[in-house]
Structure 1
Amino acid sequence: MKPLCGPLLLLLCAAAGAQQNSCVCEKNKRVTNCRLDNGRCRCDAIGSGVTVDCTTLTSKCLLMKAEVMGSKSGRREKPKDAFEDTDGLYDPECENSGAFKARQCDGTTCWCVNTAGVRRTEKHDADLKCNQLVRTMWIIIEMKHAERSTPLNAESLKKFFTDTITSRYLLDGRYISSVLYENPYITIDLKQNSSDKSLGGVDIADVAYYFEKDVKGQSIFHNNPGLNVSIDNEDVKLERTVVYYVDEIAPEFSMKSLTPGLIAVIVVVVIAIVAAIVVLVLTRRRKGKYVKAEVKEMNEMHRGLNG
């Protein structure tokens, strides 16, 4: 029997070696070129090529960039500086670390973002300067569940979301400030300032992004349909999820960023105030004329009596 030829044997050995060194990135399916490196699965993020560690969450900036590349086809009162992400998906500029660059641009239009990549200023031309990447220290995730005959158990609900965030998203439990239930609203507070964030630790902005995608059935995890919310062995359907951001420095929005409805309310209030001032001025003028006329009549009567 003839021995295997050299080139064929080398090809088979190379294929076997490649299979042994390949891996699956369980925490992020938006990657390519996955390989084992010292026992850890490392892959290249789609769109940026930045190497990510698959044992932890990938940064939101790299995830957004990968998504853009693949898709070019009774409520609690919020803090006054809390704001939503009204711009949605865009193609971000990321640092090599995976963090957002403080200034983001789309052609000739630029704006400043926070560490969650959410716009915190008006949009300007390319001359805009963003001196620093402002830290998002507080993220509020608000959900509304479908109508039900009885409310959920608040303690069971708190345990479910606390366990999910710490185990599924690997966030240290100390950053979960509270899980509140005000039927039908569920509110999760994540707080983590710049001094709290440890090197290599999970960021609350990344957790919120993974969580929101899970709830919407667009999970970033490999071969995973999304998050199944089950409280006391009963599935709970979520109808709406909104994420609010609170930065260490208040955002810099002008009146142009206000919604038409809010502007209309402000205009009505201003008109009402102006109208009240006009009425007050006119009333005082009429009263003044009446007093002058009364004094004139009294003087005439006095002269008539003296005469």
Structure 2
Amino acid sequence: MRTDFICAFSSIMEPLFGVVLGLILAVASSAHDSCTCATNKWAVCAQDGPGNCTCRLAGSDHPVDCSTLTSKCFLMKAEMIPLKEKRLWRPPHAVSDSDGIYNPDCEDNGVFKARQCNQSSTCWCVNSAGVRRTEKGGRSLNCSELVRTRWIYIELTHKRSSNAFHAPDVAKALTQLFESRYKLRPKYIAAIKYDPPLIQIRLDQNKKPRWDVDIADVAYYFEKDVNNDSVFHSNSKLNVSVNGDALAIEKLWIYYVDEKPPEFCMRQLAAGISAVVTVVVLTAGIGITVLLILRWLRTRTHCREKIIFKL
């Protein structure tokens, strides 16, 4: 009797145990899948405790705060890692625009170091956006400070739309985009001007509090989105709509303005001036030569006429 009871109990509990085990595995798998960095597809994340997901930058031990944007310096460094080290986060057919991309030296907080060098010991100074602001030199090049990029001008054009866009609606849509997607506070958007199909956006950030995103990071994320190489983990395509109509961005230009003017040496300027002076001198010389030849021909013709007249 007891044996029959145990067998009956086992036959009931065995399927229940399977269901419970399946639920546990499903929850564990879901927790593992959710351990990703929404704002950085190159971050390496691991579950180090119940509900605790820690993310670090690919190829380094720098922690990544996935609640905000990752610094441009860290992003550029991650882009220099071979694709095989990025695992499956970037699709095989993806192509990255490498213009201006180099393997930067970053401070521990993600800020660019003022002096950047490559493997051939060529160095240059950069601004807080990582853009070169001096001539290139050797290891002895001195970059005394990291000059802050205070203004960023973004210019873009959009494709034709069936309905005309109005300037206030375009400004509102882009302001909402920068605030919701890139976490940029509206006070840093100084102006948005619209002259179809050209849109001009001016970002102004004199001093950046620690808790605010940097406009250089915002511009880099935006540039990546427009080039269909989103940094966000979902790799979702950028969709901008104005009153329900798609604003399809066609071309993009970004300009950086620093607190201090660039320190490019005068050699390029001198070469340009020298070329202009050379052209002017050559033009003047040719002009004088032509005038002398014409004068000589006129004199010779006049003398010939006198001789013929005397004859």
Stretch of structure 1 that moved more, 99-108 or 143-152: 143-152
Choose which of 212, 222, 226 in structure 2 pairs with 1:211.
222
Mapped to 2, the partners of 1:40 and 1:94 lie a distance apart of 27
Deviation of the 1:217 alpha carbon: 1.0
Residue equivalent to 1:103: 115
* Superimposed CA distance per residue, residues 237-269 of structure 1 (whole angstroms, 9 cap, x where no aligned partner): 2221111000011111246668xxxx87x6675
TM-score (norm 2): 0.70
Structure (1 or 2) with the larger CA radius of gyration = 2
Report the AA paired with residue 104 of structure 1: Q
Mapped to 2, the partners of 1:64 and 1:41 lie a distance apart of 24
Report the AA paired with residue 142 of structure 1: E
Partner SS state of residue 53, structure 1: coil
Call closer, same or farther: CA 1:240–1:113 in 2, change over 3 Å.
same
Matches within 5 A, 1:9-20: 16=28, 19=31
Residue 188 in structure 1 maps to residue 190 in structure 2: no
Percent identical across equivalent pairs? 47
- Number of matched residues? 255
Deviant stretches of 4+, over 6 Å = 36-40, 275-282
Q: Which runs of 5+ in 2 are unaligned?
A: 1-5, 7-20, 86-97, 290-311
Deviation of the 1:147 alpha carbon: 4.2
Mapped to 2, the partners of 1:31 and 1:144 lie a distance apart of 32
Residue 134 in structure 1 maps to residue 147 in structure 2: yes
Mapped to 1, the partners of 2:56 and 2:137 lie a distance apart of 33
Mapped to 1, the partners of 2:256 and 2:49 lie a distance apart of 36
Stretch of structure 1 that moved more, 30-39 or 110-119: 30-39
Partner SS state of residue 69, structure 1: coil
Deviation of the 1:281 alpha carbon: 11
Mapped to 1, the partners of 2:149 and 2:133 lie a distance apart of 11
Partner SS state of residue 47, structure 1: coil
Q: Which runs of 5+ in 1 are unaligned?
A: 2-8, 74-85, 283-307
Residue equivalent to 1:62: 74
Matches within 5 A, 1:33-48: 33-35=45-47, 41-48=53-60
Report the AA paired with residue 220 of structure 1: V
Deviation of the 1:168 alpha carbon: 0.9
Residue equivalent to 1:221: 232
Residue 175 in structure 1 maps to residue 188 in structure 2: yes
Deviation of the 1:126 alpha carbon: 1.2
Mapped to 2, the partners of 1:212 and 1:118 lie a distance apart of 15
Mapped to 2, the partners of 1:38 and 1:57 lie a distance apart of 25
Mapped to 2, the partners of 1:91 and 1:245 lie a distance apart of 20
Call closer, same or farther: CA 1:116–1:211 in 2, change over 3 Å.
same
Deviation of the 1:270 alpha carbon: 3.3
Q: CA RMSD in A?
A: 3.7
Report the AA paired with residue 94 of structure 1: C
Mapped to 2, the partners of 1:255 and 1:154 lie a distance apart of 42
Mapped to 2, the partners of 1:40 and 1:129 lie a distance apart of 43
Residue equivalent to 2:259: 248
